[in-house]
Structure 1
Amino acid sequence: MSDDLRIPIVKEEATVIKRSVETERVSVRTSTEEEQVLVRDAVRREHVEITRVPKDEEVSKTPDIRTEGDLTIIPVLEERLVIEKRLFLVEELHLRRTVDHEPVELPTTLRRTRVDVEREDLEQKEQK
């Protein structure tokens, strides 16, 4: 027999086992709420007033369209035969803009989603 001493070497291993366990349940309900509202705002309207201003002036060239404050002046021309051809300013159109603001109310429906969340703790239920 030999004088050898044998010592066994032991190795431990750990294994993790996982399992799913329900701890709570969640219920989610959605609902749509409707609310009738009245939307208020103002609309803008422009009005143009036209005044014809007689001129009957001879001009050498076509006058430019011009603006004086809120007044726009547009020349109206005609050619007349006079032994020679001359340019006459017949009239001007004076355009004056005014702006009115008119309140409007429009009924409309607004929708909103409401969410209700309900939790049920399963662990507390088992302990009872």
Structure 2
Amino acid sequence: MGSAMSDDREAGSLPIMEESVSISTQKVESGSVRVSTRTEMIDHLVPVDLSSVEVQVDRVPVDRKVDSVPEIVTKGDVTIIPVVEERIVVTRELYLREEIHVRRIAQTQHVDVKATTRRQTAHIDRVPADSTSEKDDQDDL
């Protein structure tokens, strides 16, 4: 009977157990991305204002007696350049033969000038994991 009592104690006790969970992560390469660029040429029409100055020359006969050579004179956009000659008369006299009038005429012209610029675009290729892992294995050798 004494042995039956010790069996009752063992039969009445339950072991206490606990389960625990441990989670870990691992990096796995699923593929890679290859980026390449391409440069393309683009033609543009660029508006440009071109300026030019045209020179108009007029010979103006004067044929007038002067005592000395006149100075070059500018009046507005006209420059007057005197041209003289000596004439022999009973006495020598100076005559203004002509004046050369030089006029500046400014012009502005609107034109389109062809200009080329460059632009890059990116192309992305995905490489599967299988082909990159083989390459990695070869790199390790």
| TM-score (normalised: structure 1) | 0.63
Residue of structure 2 in register with 1:53 after alignment: 60
1:100 corresponds to 2:107: yes
Structure 2 runs not aligned, ≥5 long = 1-28, 130-141
- Residue identity in the other structure for 2:65: E
2: CA distance between counterparts of 1:76 and 1:107? 47
Percent of aligned positions with the same letter in both sequences?
Answer: 39
> Residue type of the partner of 2:70?
P
**Aligned letter for 2:85?**
E
Q: Count residues with an aligned counterpart.
A: 101
Residue 88 (structure 2) aligns with: 81
How far, CA to CA, are the matches of 1:63 and 1:117 in structure 2? 80
* 1:1-128 aligned within 5 A: 27-115=34-122
Q: Computing the radius of gyration over CA atoms, which structure comes out larger, 1 or 2? A: 2
Shift of 1:44: 1.3
CA drift of 1:28 comes to 4.2
Aligned to 1:64, the other structure's residue is in SS state coil
Partners of 2:93 and 2:33 lie apart in 1 by 92
Distance 1:28 1:102 in 2: 46
Using the size of structure 2 for normalisation, the TM-score is: 0.58
Q: What is the CA–CA distance in structure 1 between the aligned matches of 2:33 and 2:62, rounded to whole Å? A: 86
What's the offset of the Cα at 1:69? 0.8
Q: Distance in 2 between matches of 1:116 and 1:93?
A: 68
| More helix as a share of residues | 2
Structure 1 residue 99: deviation in Å? 0.9
Deviation of the 1:52 alpha carbon: 2.1
Q: Partner amino acid for 1:63?
A: P
Unaligned residue ranges in structure 1 (runs of 5+)? 1-22, 123-128
Cα offset, 1:51, TM superposition: 2.3
More strand by share: 1
1:83 deviates by 2.5
Task: Please report the RMSD computed on the Cα atoms of aligned residues, expressed in angstroms.
Answer: 2.9
Distance of 1:87 and 1:26 partners within structure 2: 93
